[in-house]
Amino acid sequence: MRVVVLCLLLLVGAPSAGAFDLFGLFGSKKKASQPERTPVSDEKAKQYLQNFGYVQSSNSLSASPGGMSADFSDVTQILKSAVRKFQEFAGLKQTGELDLQTKKKMAEPRCGVTDVAAITSGRGAAFKWPKSQITYSIFIYSPDLPRNDIKTAIRRAYNVWAAVAPLDFVELRDNDESADIKIKFAAGSHGDPWPFDGRGGVLAHATMPTSGMLHFDEDENWVYMDPEKIAKHDYTDVYAVAIHEGGHTLGLSHSRDENSIMAPFYQETVDEDGNYKEPKLKADDIRAIQDIYGPRRGGPPTSDFDDSPRARPATTERPRATTTDSFWGGFGFGGRDRDRDRATTTSGRGGFFSGFFGEGSSRRGSSDESSTRPSAGGRFADIDVNCPSSLDAYTVAGNGRGYLFRGSKVYEVDGRRIGSPKAVQDVFPNGPIYAQAAVTNPRSQLTLLFQDRRVYGFAWNPRLNRFQLDAEYPKTLPSEIVFNPVGGLVWIDGQQMLLSYGKNFAVYDEYWNQQTLANRLDNYYPGFPSDIKGGVADRQGVVTLFAIDKVYKYDANSKRLQGASVPLNSYLTC
């Protein structure tokens, strides 16, 4: 059973200013505020970028043998790129520097899972309940609240989703192991891999279907729709958190839409007049849940509890002042997450990674890096039906099978055994006619096909047994990548490398649609063969490289070729 942690609502520092309208509770006039936060240190900022997916932990911000961070200048470049990504995501000025505003943002309350990795975990609607009636059971209650308040909060929270999707929720008796979703309040280490960290840290976490886990941190002070305690004593509204976490248990990742209830930050459910303001789904939330399950037909689900929020007594003071500071926009959830992350979604969510950002420049490569150089035998030369002697691109996709591209045809490869050719657009619908490069992100399982400056992203849908074009694609490569890719591979440290004919490379992050590093292969890997079109790395750091008509073995750790090349049609079993 797959278990994917969805949300650990993490408070990184002390209480802070914030006008980010997570639940759409605050108007455009006065907004509740909190004291100014202390900015994080430079070292904590670097750790933050690694922890939340802005740089890959495998090569991180320090050099590693065989990795991309081979010298200090490259580490600096990677850091600048990571900071720019965070600043773009946070709605800050993109300076690439760890300035004061950036470090203050890093101290804001936020979800504790990796931003990019989180986004990618929901891709392809892989996380979905295969039925319309879902059961839940409460195993451990919080002593902060009457049991009936907790039951009502959970019931109301799931009814919010049931009102717009064809789902019905049934509460089973307490401690019923047969329940689809098991709910409890717990502190510290509590039997899963993600221990809570005490009051003021992690609020709750949940897992995607069909794992069915929803845990609240017992060390928090919980209330149910009580504006006085929320405003005066910094209590946390269990109802608001339950709606958000409940969305995760139904397969929703975080939303980039700052007004969405599935945006990653918690905000107090009290308006400027001190009254309770009930969280409500926004259009993005509704689109996301309906992308998975479809719309609800007929009447709303039956409600067997009082639906009216409690008003705050008029005599209670409002302790918050107005501020102009704002929370930064959400991230998708987990790997890009984006994710979001379904291959067919139209919302602003991230799949485990769909790109949130629009297409870049359509600028073509420089003349010496032109993609007009023909492949062996010409672009649409006669295809070797039985056993291809040359290729244009090669990648291993998220379904574990290899795909060899030759002209307008693609061959499926199982191990070394090659199947019959099919039209590229039959296997990758709505994709390019041919592919000049292909690469599969091992974390998101998103397969990228490149034709000139266009990028097509495909997710494998195991339920439909086919590839689907992700909603964020096609897009155009950014102008900072100055060549049209004619090869691509994932290196041993997880970096996606796009290759040119002239032995130049660019490390490409499809989620951000950015180049994070550019250089010459010879500066990193002496003796690296020419005309490489694709490659597959093993756990020992040996990369099988596919050239136009040859296959090589390259040891990325010792930076040497292993033996002589072999012809492609000898390597394959036809």
Give the catalytic positions in this structure. 245
144 annotated to a ligand binding site: yes
- Determine whether the annotation assigns residue 549 to a binding site: no
Q: Which residue has the tokens 């495998």?
A: 58
Q: Burial level of 310, CB count in 10 A (0-12/13-18/19+)?
A: middle
What spatial distance separates the first Cα and last Cα of the chain, rounded to whole Å? 36
What is the C-alpha to C-alpha distance for residues 320 and 218, in angstroms, rounded to an integer?
26
Residue 244 annotated as binding site: yes
d(CA 416, CA 551): 12
Q: What angle do CA 203, 209, 211 make, to 5 degrees?
A: 75
The answer to whether 198 is a known ligand-binding residue is yes
Task: Give the closest residue to 121 by CA, choosing from 292, 334, 399.
Answer: 334
7: annotated binding-site residue? Answer: no
Q: Is 226 annotated as a binding residue?
A: no
Helices (H), 208-325: 227-233, 238-249, 283-293
341 carries a ligand binding annotation: yes
- The answer to whether 538 is a known ligand-binding residue is no
The encoded tokens of residue 565 equal 């090349």
Is 368 a known ligand-binding residue? no
- Omega within 30 of 0 (cis) for the link into 324: no
Cβ atoms of 243 and 237 within 8 Å: the answer is no
Q: Is residue 339 a known part of a binding site?
A: no
CA distance 12 to 233: 19
**51, 320, 391, 531 from 547: Cα distances, Å:** 36, 64, 8, 5
**Among 432, 198, 230, 186, which residue's Cα sits nearest to residue 318?**
230
- Residues sharing a CB contact under 8 Å with residue 263, sequence separation 6 or more, in sequence order: 20, 22, 254, 255, 256, 257, 329, 330
Tell whether 248 is in a known binding site: yes
Annotated binding-site residue? 197: yes
Q: With beta carbons less than 8 A apart as the criterion, state whether 208 and 215 touch.
A: no
Tell me if 233 is assigned to a ligand binding site: no
Which residues line the annotated binding site? 111, 144, 180, 190, 192, 197-198, 205, 215, 217, 220, 244, 248, 254, 262, 341, 392-393, 438
Indicate the annotated binding residues for Zn(2+).
111, 190, 192, 205, 215, 244, 248, 254, 262
Provide the annotated binding site for Ca(2+): 144, 180, 197-198, 217, 220, 341, 392-393, 438
